[in-house]
Amino acid sequence: MKQYIFSALSALAITAVVGCSTTKSQTSTKGFTPLFDGKTTTGWHTYGKTTAGSKWEIQDGALYLNSKGPRNGGGDLVTDKEYSNFHLKYDWKVSPGANSGLIYYVHEDKAKYGATYSTGLEMQVIDNEGHPDGKYPKHRAGDLYDVIKSSSEPVKPVGQWNTAEIISKNGKLEHYLNGVKIVSTTLWDENWKQLIAQSKFKGWENWGTFKSGKIALQDHGDDVWYRNIMIKEL
């Protein structure tokens, strides 16, 4: 009888683990390629330029946007390479009252599109309570900015590191924050077009339509840190 009870409990435990796997991310880094070496801005440049702006500094193994840096040293950082299907992982933290974002599927053509967000989707990085933008639905940490509100808010207190993930494969998109799936949608179908039509991006030429693009770290004028940035192409 005891053996039967143990076996039943074991089965329930296995079922619970399997059930959680749909909402929890995978912690393995096998097959991932670092996008940031922890020491330099190699592999990155300022949007529309050839080198990285001097406001982006290296601090304790993280890319740090120093808001007090040289006036002309800012701008969003973008990867040298484009990506289509990918699993991206990164850590971020913000100073009190700060705002930033991880922008992806960026089509770099500054003459036509003035900023990274002119074409790219954004996973919001922000102090929810300290920045005015956090008062708006779909503008809070982890949201698909101005398009889809997160299903929950597992964000850590300001000043602590958060781990974020973006998985995009053949139009299926997911956002994870601190191991919890918080956004899930399908890109480029009729429903996606309707979501755009209900957002601030309505009427923006080609916004959210590119199926390959660069990854960007946003300079929103506030202190923000990024580290452990890595990607697996799918």
Provide the whole-model pTM: 0.89
Check whether 25 has a pLDDT greater than 90. no
* pLDDT tens digits, one per residue of 129-149: 999 999 999 999 999 999 999
Instruction: Give a yes or no: residue 41 inside a domain.
Output: yes
Instruction: Give a yes or no: residue 183 inside a domain.
Output: yes
* pLDDT tens digits, one per residue of 168-188: 999 999 999 999 999 999 999
Q: What's the structural domain count of the chain?
A: 1
Instruction: Give a yes or no: residue 6 inside a domain.
Output: no
Instruction: Give a yes or no: residue 217 inside a domain.
Output: yes
What domain range is 112 assigned to? Answer: 30-233
Instruction: Give a yes or no: residue 98 inside a domain.
Output: yes
Instruction: Give a yes or no: residue 221 inside a domain.
Output: yes
**What token pair was written down for 205?**
């030429």
Long-range contacts of 32-37 (CB under 8 A, 24+ apart): 32/87, 32/89, 32/230, 32/231, 32/232, 33/230, 33/231, 33/232, 33/233, 34/229, 34/230, 35/79, 35/215, 35/229, 35/230, 35/231, 36/63, 36/226, 36/227, 36/228, 36/229
- Are the CB atoms for 223 and 96 separated by under 8 Å? no
Q: How confident is the prediction for the chain on average, in pLDDT?
A: 92
44 has which bridge partners? 79
**pLDDT value of residue 26:** 64
**What token pair was written down for 19?**
């059930």
> What's 152's domain CATH number?
2.60.120.560
Please state the rounded mean pLDDT for residues 175-204.
Answer: 98
